[in-house]
Structures are given as C-alpha cells and as structure tokens.
Structure 1
C-alpha cells in the first residue's frame, strides 16, 4: 500500500534539491524562451491569493516551455520607486528606502513559496543606482533627441499625493493611486514627446499577438482622426484662431466658436465689458478636472465680446469660452455647428445662438429643430455652392477644397497627449538636468551617471509644486557641465513608470556597467516572448513600454521595436460577491496558511481551477480541498502502479495518448482551468482501468501523466519521477507526444433508431462494415420492429436508422 502523501516533507525536499541543482541551465544549445511577469510594487501588505494567480500562470507556462526543450528566461524584480512605495512609507512613518527593503524581503519569501522557477541572478530593483543609471541615461538620450522638454501649463494635480499626474493616471476624475478627486494646477513640467510616435504605436499593434481588448484600448487612447484645420480671422485683430474639425463639410453651419478657458487667447479676447466675467470663468474652470468638465451636465460658458469671421462665407461668429472644450485636444478651439452636434445644440439653445441646418435627410430641412441631426450622411443644404452634395462625399473632399482656398489644411489629429513626466515627490529617479542661467537646461554628462538620489530627513511632499529635493541646497547648487558657471539641479523626480518602461531589457544583462544591454545578449535573448499581467496597465505601462522600446530601437540600442510578442491578461481573484481584495475591506486571503495546510502544489493547482484564467473569479477556500484530494488519489495510483509494474493494455495505451492530446490542446489554448479538470477526468478513468488490472496501470502511463502534471505541481511530480527510478529532474524530460493511431477507439457506441427515434444504443467495432452494423442494430431492436422494413441506413460511426412502414 502506498505511503501517505506528505506535502510538507516532499516540498521541503525538492526546494533544497532545486537550490543545489538548478533545473534551468543554459547549455548554449537550446533555443531561448522569455516568459515575464509584470514585476510587483513592493507593497507592505505582501501577497494575497489574487497575486499568486498571475505568478502561477506564468510559472506553469514557463515550465511547459522547459519541457519542450527551451532555455528559459524567467526573471523577477521590483518596481520600487514612485507613489505606491512612498505613500506606504509615509503611512508607516518610515523612510521609503527602509520600508521598501523590508517589503521586498517579505514578498520575496512569499514568491519563493510559489515554487516559481525565477532566476534570481537576473533580479533588478528600480531604486538601485546601478539600475536607474540607465533610466537616467535613456532620459538624457531623449533630451538630446528633442523628445524630453519643459513646459508650463495646467496639469492634473492630486491634492492628496501632492504631485502632478499624467492623463493616463487619472481614472474617472480621480487619482489612480489613492482615489482622490483630481484638480488642475499650473506648473513647470518635464514632458516626453510620445505623440511623435503616435502613428507607429497605432499601426504596429497589428504586429502583436495581444488580446483584442487591449489593442482596442490603446487604439482608442491614441485616438487617430482625419479632418482639417481651419483658420478663423478675429474681427478687428491680426490673430487667427485655428480649429480642428473632423467635419469640415459642415463649415457653413458654424454659428459660434468656443475656446477652452486655458486657450492662449482666452483672456486677451475679453472686452472691457466682459473682462471680469471672463477672468472669473477661467479661474473656476481651472479648479475642475477634465472628467468633471466632460460629464453630461448643463453646459456653462461666457461670451468674450469678440467675434471671429467664418472664412468660407464671411459670417460673424461670437467667440465663447466653455469648459466642455479641453485645451489638450486638437487646438483647444472648436467651430460649433449646433444643428449637427448634441453638445453644441444644447449650448446654442441655452445661450440663444442661431442654429443653421446644413445636412438634411433627402434634402428636406427640419423646421424648429428640437434636437441635433446627427446622422452620418445626408444632402447638403444652406451651404452655398456645396448644396445638393452628399455629405459623406463632401466630408472627404472638403479638406482639399479648404486647402486650395488657403483657409486651412487637411490634417490628422490624435487624442494622445505628450506624457507629463515629472513628479513633485522625493522617491523617484532624479531627473539628470542642470539649469544654467547662461546655457539653459543642460543634461548631466553620461559619464557622471547615475545622479544619485540624496538622503534626506524629511521626504514628505510639500504641496507647493516643489519637490522636497528643492530644500537640499548642497545638492541643488552645482556647476554647469557646459560653461562651469553656478547652476542648479532639476529638483523634480521621474514617475514610477520610468523604470518599468524598460526593465525587461535589463534582466538579461543586469550586471553590465558599460551599457544598458549588450548587443550580444539583446540579440540572443530579447524581446519578451510571453508577458503576463493585469489589463489595468493597458494604457499606462504597456503603452509607455512600447514607446521606450521604439525610441531605443531608433537610437540603435536594440534591434527590435516591440517589447512583448505575446500578452496574456489574467483576471482578478476577488473576495465574496466579486469584491476586490483589499486590506481596508478585510477580505484579503493570505496564501501562507493555505501553503502550510495543503501545500504549494495544491494551492497552485486550485489557483488555476477557479475559472478561466482571463476572467475574474471569486475565491472559495472549500475548493482547495477537492484539488488536494485529487493529488492524493493520483499519488496513490502512481505508487501502487510503480510497485506492481504491470504491462500496458490497449485501453491504458489509448487513454494515455488521448490524455496527452487533450491536455496539450487545452494548455496551448491557455484554457488552464480545463487542463486541471482534464487531469481529474483522466485520472478517474485510469483509476477505473486500474481496478480491472490488479489496482495498477503501466509505468509508461504514470511517467506520461507525471510529466503532464509537472508544470502545475512540480514537487509531487519530481517525487513520483524519482520513485519511477529517474536520477535526473523531471524538467529535463521531454513533453510527451500523442500518436493518433493509438488514440483510435476499437469500439464505438452508436444509437439505433426506428423511424428516426432512438430505441437503443449499441457498441460495435469502429471499422465495422455497413452490412454488419445494420445487422447488429436490427438484432438490438428486433422486439421493437413492427411492420415492413423499407430502408436501412448506417452513417459510419454516427447512427443506425431502420425505416419501417406499418
């Protein structure tokens, strides 16, 4: 009788063995496979069972690739700079360097409990000066290429985190990190010109084996549109106001203009009579977030007292300010065609502005419009020489007409804005720029990098718009690298995304102090073949990483321009009723006790069994019992079979090959929950076969099933493999292949029908002749046939039908 399965002893034994004899060794002969997890923030709360899911998925896939003969690149590191780490340190009343180090130690212990096959020799930490030296190097290169620049303008401001935020870090008007409502603040900022890469970021999505959902999110975020810029002269002034429109065909229907309150001309357009109201409106708008301004609520606005001239027909258009127009989209000014835009219609109705219909269904004008006519096409009316044209045709031709008339130009526009890159916080990479009164902004020379983050006693954010670094005179005051004159260092720091936008490159050459990554190792090991992480990073980390990779490709640092060939987004593990796990909600489930009670292997397998890996799943502790029982059943079957060492039967051989085919197909489809259920189904079949064969199956079947199980439950697989007599690790074995001939059934079950109604189900040889099949079928339903048989039908391997006429 098999010895009981002791998960504690077996898992401890194999952890020690793997440390002494690593199973993933680069012999220089195997092809590489780079499987990467999104590296974690070292949070003080440690890992819960939800975090385990992504790590287990990537480890299963990695071990599967090892068994297919690949040398595996599967590193781990720490995204330790930025708001999450600093906010936690403030909460705990310690320095972020101290809390980050402690958190990393704890999470590393928890990650090791997963038994993931991480290569800790490749470990990186974004707060390590030898790492952020290269983060700063990339910034310097971007500065020299004109991609990093300074600009003062209203940015998203989190009053709680006391720092500026990129548009991508604002979710429904709130700070992505802390949930506080975001306001606007006018600040000097460092920007990265990601917009220069907008077209490539969009078109190259077609290259990627990524979920369509993520590709659509990036497509929508980049927001490419085609239209025209039109120049509207300002009455009585030399300035012109340029607007961007995707509907230049409606130019005759423009009856007013609206500028964003932040528009450069907003204040100067005010007349003496309107100046006070205009300035008050501009101030009030500055206190609102973009999300608040775009919400579907009553429109507000103020008339500047000044008019623009429609360049097509010479009509005067009143110029208004309204906060439903944003400064950072298009030109920050719009021509308003209330007859054909819901927002413009609402605004015109409220402020009694004329409404002129220029597109009509069948050319018939609507009298006393009660809503905007927003159909995509129609016939042009009230449009001068454009009357009678189809609007869908004119929409394409109008930009060319406008260009010929010299009143504008056809253009392409993007929703994507340049990246607000600086943060008014302490815990981040110092921006390697020196401000010189004579030379302006000068990069720190590359041979002087890293520019180290100075130690400070007080690192809390000031809220003034200045970083805490600004108070360290001995660090701020320096000399200009160009002219040697007294100068001051840049005191803003980089955002948490700076290191994570390129870290995946550094893993493969993490000890190199001469270059970011050597050409030899980049060519050999990059890019990432499989990237696994949450969909919440679709327009943050994943977009930024693509931008950085394309830039590094352009300057010749690497020879590929997309970082991640394949992407998989795992769903969340939630608490009861689908509520996200969090310490504040008291629904966090730590894996530590589950590992102790059931073992790492049971928890790994249950993490995958809870549901399709791409969907959210609700955690239920009771489910792990079933997985644990399954492993014990297979353990008993394996040890009994090893002891009895019986020869294979045809049924064992057929089941083995069917299992290899089925498990491999499900695994390749990333249907990991059905892989686990498949293990259970086939193990039950093998146990049933064993009952008819002295309680055992043949050793080859046990070997095959054990290899199939190995990526999922590595400890128990290694133990059974050793008991099968193997001295080397199971992960040096080969993933089994199936033989279709051996999968074929000798007998099949087919229904026997009389006049199309099933009367019996019989077993017949798979390759039986038509005559013999019909004979067997008639025999099975002989007592049910009444009348004359007029037709006999056999659809091979499907059905027997006896047609009877009474």
Structure 2
C-alpha cells in the first residue's frame, strides 16, 4: 500500500464528493430532517483558524446525523455586504464587489480543501440582487404593517467608519469594528420596531432554555431589560411659555415616592430648553447639555461614572408630599430609558445619593430595615439604603413592607389621577440606516409633492450601482451619483430622489437561514414546502460575540415574518453551540501580535484531516483553544498509526466486514479472550462516540475513545496475527473505528475503508448498531486497599457478589502481607470497583 500522502488522498475524495453534489439534499417527507448551520462568514479576507474551528464542529455534527438516518441540510453562503468588506476593499484600492467575489472564490476553495460536507447547490451571497430583492420586499411589507418608521434623533456615529451604529454595535463607547470613540449625531434614520416584540422576545426565551447556553439567555434577558413600575406626573411649579405643565417619570420604586427630593433630567430631554428660557442659568445649562450629549451613552449609564449635573432654575412639585423639588440636568440620566426624567430619592438610590452629596441636596428616609427599631438618620448615612424594609414617613402607607407598598401606592396614584402602572424596556428599536455604499439600498423615494413613497414591489430590486468609485474616507458615493439618486415618483410622476442610506448588514444575516431552504426560487423569498420542512434550524453554531446582535435580530425577524405569513414557527434556532476562540501563546490570534496560524499552511503541511482532528481534540468546543504545534503533530502521528494499522500491520488480512458485525454466538468461543474484549471495546467505542458527539459535543473525549480502541488493536497484534480465524472480529473492529473516526477525518477513513475491500462510500454508511450484550464484561478488575491505600488488584466475574469478592480479596497475598499481625475491623466492598480492608 502506498504511503500516507494527505494531499493526494484528500484531493481524490474531495473531487468525488464535489463532482456528484454528494451532500446535496432535497425535501424528503419520509425521513426526519436535521438542519445544522454555522454562522456564515464575511468574505473580507481569507479563512482564519476561528473559521476552521466552527466549520469543523458543524461538519462533524452534520456527518454524524446523516449516519444516524437524518435527512441533513448543511448549507454555506456569504455575509457579503457591510463594513468589513467595504473597508478592506478601500484599503486595497479596489471595488467592494470585485474584492468580495475574489475573496468568496478563495474562501470557497479553502472550505472545499478542508473536506466539509456542504451543500454547495444552496450557496448564496447576500450582496447579489437575487438575494436582497427579497429583503427589500420584507422592508416594504414591514413598512405597511407599521413595523418600519423614520425619525430624527441623536445617533451613535463612528467618524472613521462614517456611519451610524446601532446601540448593540457600541462596545464600551467604541465602534465594535474599528475601536474608534463613538460620537452623537442628529440624523433622520430608518428603524425596525423591534420593541413591538419585546415581551415575546423575552417570554420565548423559555422555549430555548434546554437548547441555548444559559449565558446567552441571560445576556438577551438583560438587553431586553423589562422593568415593571409606574409612570408618575410631577407638576411644574410654573408652566413654561410653550405650555408644558408637568414632567412624567418612570420608576420601579414608587414605594420611595415620599422620599423624592429633586428631579434629574437627561441632557436630551425636550423640556430642558423650555425650563431654562430667560433664566440666569441658561448659558451654563446649555454648555453642560452640549458636553453631555457628546458623551457615549454606555459610559453615561455606567455605575462608576462620576455624577455631575447643573440646576435649571426650575422646580416641580412632589405629587404626594407637595414639596417643591429643584430640577437638574444630570449626566447619568439617559433619554433612551423610561421618559428621560428621574425622580431622585437619594436616601434609597446610590446614584442619587452620590449626586445629592456632591451638590448638597436634601435626603429623606422613607424605608428602614424590617428588623430594626432605629430609623435611619439622613445626616449620618454614608450610603443609600436599598434593601427591602418598612415604609416610614409615608402618610397612610407608613408601616407597610415596601413590596406591598408598591402595589398600594400604584393603586393610589391611579385612583387620584397622578400616575399609572407602566412597563419599561431597555431594548430600543433597531436603527438599520447606514451611511455607507456597500449595502442593500433602502427601497424608498422622497418626493417634494408626495413625501416618503415606498418603491413599488414591481420595481424591485432597487439595485446598488456597481459603476461607482468608493471614497478613501469611507463616505458613501451614492448621494453624489445622479444615475442612482435621480428618479421619478411612482405616485405623481414628478422628479424625486432615492434614499441613499443602505441597510445594516445584520438585516441580511437575520433571514439567510430561511433562504437556504430554497435558493433556487426567484420570484419569492422561500418555497413554502421547503421552509415548512427544513425550519427551524436544529443546531446553530457560532461565536458568543453574536449573543445580542445577530441572535436577537434573527429572533425578531422570524417573528415579524411569521406575522406577515411567510413562516410558521416562532424561533429560528432551537439549539445553539457557542464555540470559544482559537488563541496562541495565551492571546487571541492577530497579525500585530505575530501569533497568527495560517490554515492553508497547516493543511499543506499536515493535511486537512490532521487539522480537523487537532482542532476537535485540543479543547471542548465551548472553551478557548490554545494552539499547540506539538498538539497538531500528535494528531498527525495518530492518523499515521491508523494508516499503518490497515496498510502495513494488518495488510491483506482484513476483510470488508460491516462495523459492529453481529457474529454467531460460537465464533468467539474458540478464540483467545482478547477477541471478546476487542468486541466489547469496539461496541463501547461506537456507543461513547455517538453519545459524546450528539448529546454533549465532547469531540475530544470521543476521539480519545477511538484512540483507546486503536491502542488495544496495536497492543494485541501478536495475538490477532496468530489467529487468522479471528480476523473477521478484527475486521469488524477496524471497520467500526474507521466509521466513527470518519466524521473527524473523512478523507483518510474513506481511503482506508476502500483499502479494506468495501465498495460502498463510507460517507453513505449508517452509524454502526451497538449490541448491548457486547458491552457486558465477563470479568471486572477490582482495586484492593488496606486502610485506603492501594495494595493490589484482582479480576473477578462481573456478576460476583459481595461475599465472593471479599473472599477473593482476603486470599490475595499482598493483602495478607499488609494485614499480618493486625486486627481486621471492617471490610468495605463496592462490587465491580474496590475492596477496602480496615485493620490496625
């Protein structure tokens, strides 16, 4: 047999798989379906080791499920619009379209070189009109339904990327893509009304608690941030010139209303200009407002922010105490939460306490600890009291515990017309407008006569022009492209202008998994039969960094498309696996750190099977994987051992036996005991690998089980070679080893499978059937201890009782030697495991 040359063997089998679209599947109502999907890549460069890890994990799951009889869909495509591709194209002085499609060609070849069982007939690229025409249709349908709107408001602006960012794309005040400090900019933008689904997005997380990591569920719950409380009206001491008479606040702590001593407003609150008009504080407040509005909203909401504010010169009235409360503008109050106004209760809120202490504002205690006879003294308090307690100095509510008081005070406010129960969410509507070129055009026209006019469905797609030149500073060329901007109003026929903003690239990735089911359909987003059969996705795989952005947006999109009649399910991804990063030398791989490992170099040096095996074996999928040169060499050595076992050690002796072949009862009787043990280990290995992969995603322990079986074969070669009559047993074990190893190392296993004389392709083989009787041990090894210390081991029948095991142990020479001259106090027997003799 020829030497193990991965490049030749892998090219051979990849050609075989590719030529026949071997992994393409169609709807088959007679088979159970299984949809396995990895998050698709940005084609902004080449594959990195993080890609290799996620797609290898997905491929193993897909191959194992196929072998278990499922009709598996395992598609691939390209998240081809957006900043990564556009910025890279600008950097390299080329057009984003050219750059993108060249990278797609390169990355497709890389994926094929790794031997992934992908259905390439379903391939899509989100930057093609064939894809985004349907996205534009969804926009129009959602606009009709009131789930899309346009408004002018302060937005997160990245001066380097030259575009608006959604709140979720701002990380600690920085752009999530380029780490530039984000500014605030007033712009008219398009929004998806994701808040309309806030309760459903929150409640339906309960459908996912068995299939999603708890960490991701918690992150989504916190981001949606549902708060139950009350909205309370505080009358202004004097109405403003514009006619405003009150300030509405949202609070979850209406039980502390009697302790409110001042009011804090967000810098963006529309009442601020009215309150300061003609007041001596106007200039100071305006300067403060301008400064705060340019601060990052994440920093403004941080607990460690230094609290600052300025008095407006205006007052409001506490609705239950009648006290006059000064109104401040404060840097820690956000317009995006509640009403942008906060009733300040410094004795029972730490932020208010810090602010009041700094500006010498009064504290009023209205809650004290339940088990304390001493009322808290506001003059000596060093921090706010925020624990549960009993109300004091709160009129008729004094003496109630604070939870009960919340309900009764809410009733009181509603009865008196002073407020109402209310629910608030941290979640904000999704800003999808991007001031960049490389994206799907928003299908809207602006007409001086008719206003905002949706593009007629018959005119879709609104194509992104490809004959434009991008700008070095990242600004979109679309506003300066008359052939795109200038159009005719479809309503009145007069000259009009197209919208030049493009959609956030997360719109494309919010529904691509549904398009995969029917990429061949031209005049509709989906084939209804295909969508109903394949969706939702059974197993989704991707990085934890998408826990809020992509995963939340996709959940919203599915619910919105369901309500439009396109889909019949509620959640896109029933099970989620979030894999860790690939690191080297203790840190994330990056060119600047000089610790990047190039997948192509590794594949060229070791072969795809070795790279796949190592990346699965080195760490559990949810943990970070620390790249190790010695580790990948170890994986290469193991595959070489498997190769030699078939092609050298057992050459010409193996026969094309089925894995886990069911032998007649008498076959093993006349063979050495090693054969029965081999059969037991064979079935145990198949059983463990299936469970480890399907139930636990523990690929490393699955591979360890295969290694143990191969080691047993090597360790007993002399016995096996000396008994040709038992070679069928060895052949069955070898066939099982190759079958369960094949999802991880498919090329080499196919080649060795063929070398054993099999005529069928291993990729088409079913998973071996485990015989439960084969797993039963005739004998077990029992550890013998004296006073807890290991002294010996014995082999006993597997069904031996306690008395028999104890008797055998007490005859062991090592035990007898260690208890000589001592009194045996107790003998502890754990059947099948150990005997411990207690003696002194």
* TM-score scaled by length of structure 2: 0.92
Structure 2 Cα separation of the partners of residues 619 and 563 of structure 1: 33
Q: In structure 2, what is the Cα distance between the partners aligned to 1:788 and 1:540?
A: 70
- 1:24 matched to 2:56? The reply is no
| 1:235 correspondence with 2:209 | no
Match in the other structure for 2:426: 415
CA pair 770-9 structure 1, distance change in 2 beyond 3 A: same
Query: Is the Cα contact below 8 Å between 1:114 and 1:600 reproduced in 2?
Result: yes
C-alpha contact 1:271 1:304 (8 A) present in aligned 2: no
Structure 2 distance, partners of 1:593, 1:756, is 52
- CA pair 694-364 structure 1, distance change in 2 beyond 3 A: same
Hey, what does 1:428 align to over in structure 2?
Answer: 439
What is the distance in 1 between the residues matched to 2:219 and 2:295? Answer: 25
Is residue 2:653 matched to residue 1:653? no
Q: Could you tell me whether the CA contact under 8 Å between 2:14 and 2:113 is conserved in 1?
A: no
Q: Which residue pairs with 1:297 in the alignment?
A: 305
Q: Kindly tell me: are residues 428 and 788 of structure 1, through their superposed partners in 2, closer, same or farther at Cα, counting changes over 3 Å?
A: closer
User: Which residue of 1 is the match for residue 205 of structure 2?
Assistant: 205
Compared CA separation, residues 740 and 440, structure 1 to 2 (3 A)? same
Mark the CA change 1:284 to 1:793 in structure 2 (over 3 Å): closer, same or farther: closer
1:457–1:523 Cα change, 3 Å? closer
Alpha-carbon distance in structure 1 between the residues aligned to 2:523 and 2:838: 84
The answer to whether structure 1 residue 700 and structure 2 residue 732 are counterparts is: yes
Q: Is 1:387 matched with 2:398?
A: yes
Match of 1:218 in 2: 220
Q: Check if 1:347 corresponds to 2:355.
A: yes
CA distance in 2, matches of 1:381, 1:86: 61
CA 734–308 in structure 1, closer or farther in 2 if over 3 Å, else same: same
- What SS does the aligned partner of 1:329 have? coil
Structure 2 stretches of 5 or more lacking a match? 656-666, 669-674
Cα deviation code 1:742-762 (max 9, x no counterpart): 112211122345677654321
Alignment of 1:232-311 (within 5 A): 232-237=234-239, 238-272=244-278, 273-295=280-302, 296-311=304-319
Is 2:150 the counterpart of 1:150? yes
1:711 partnered with 2:731:
no
Alpha-carbon distance between aligned partners in 1 of 2:742 and 2:56, rounded to the nearest angstrom: 13
- The reply to whether residue 95 of structure 1 matches residue 71 of structure 2 is no
Partner SS, residue 698 of structure 1 = helix
Alpha-carbon deviations, 1:86-109, whole Å to 9, x = none? 111111121111111111111111
CA–CA distance in structure 2, aligned partners of residues 385 and 333 of structure 1 = 27
Cα distance 1:679–1:374, how it changes in 2: closer, same or farther (>3 A)?
farther
Query: Residues 635-659 of structure 1, C-alpha deviation per residue, up to 9 Å, x if partnerless?
Result: 2223333522497621211111111
Q: CA deviation at 1:467?
A: 4.6
CA drift of 1:787 comes to 6.6
Q: CA deviation at 1:628?
A: 0.8
Choose the corresponding residue for 1:366, options 354, 376, 379: 376
Report the equivalent of 2:124.
124
Supply the distance in 1 between the matched residues of 2:353 and 2:825 (Cα, whole angstroms). Answer: 75
Query: Residue deviations 1:125-179, cap 9 Å, x none?
Result: 1110010001111111111111111111111010111111100000010000111
Q: 660-669 vs 547-556, which deviates more?
A: 660-669
Change (3 A) 1:494 1:601: same
- 1:660 CA drift (Å): 1.4
Moved more, 220-229 or 592-601: 592-601
Q: Deviation at 1:239?
A: 2.3
Q: Which shifted more, 670-679 or 186-195?
A: 670-679
1:454-469 maps to which residues of 2 (within 5 A)?
454-460=465-471, 467-469=476-478
1:186 to 2:204 alignment: no
Gaps of 5+ in 1: none
Change (3 A) 1:471 1:462: farther
Residue by residue over 1:302-354, the C-alpha shift from the partner in whole angstroms, topping out at 9 and shown as x without a partner, is 11111111111211111111121111111111100011111111111111211
Deviation of 1:298 (Å) = 2.5
Q: How does 1:782-801 map to 2 (within 5 A)?
A: 782-783=816-817, 784-786=819-821, 794-800=829-835
Per mean C-alpha deviation after superposition, the further-off stretch among 131-140 and 360-369 is 360-369
Alpha-carbon shift at residue 627 of structure 1 (Å): 0.6
What does residue range 479-628 of structure 1 map to in structure 2 within 5 Å?
479-577=488-586, 579-628=587-636
- 1:383-403 alpha-carbon deviations (Å, 9 max, x no partner): 222211111221233222221
Tell me how far apart the structure 1 counterparts of residues 777 and 820 of structure 2 sit (CA, whole Å).
30
Given the superposition, is the C-alpha separation of residues 595 and 234 from structure 1 closer, same or farther in structure 2, using an over 3 Å criterion? same
When structure 1 is superposed on structure 2, of 268-277 and 605-614 the one drifting more is 268-277
Give the 3-state SS of the residue equivalent to 1:104 in structure 2.
helix
- Aligned residues of 1:748 and 1:765 also touching (Cα < 8 A): yes
CA distance in 2, matches of 1:397, 1:165: 42
Q: What is the match of residue 139 of structure 1?
A: 139
Distance 1:754 1:258 in 2: 73
Distance 1:545 1:777, change over 3 A: same
User: RMSD in angstroms over aligned alpha carbons?
Assistant: 2.1
Q: Measure the CA separation in 1 of the matches of 2:373 and 2:224.
A: 36
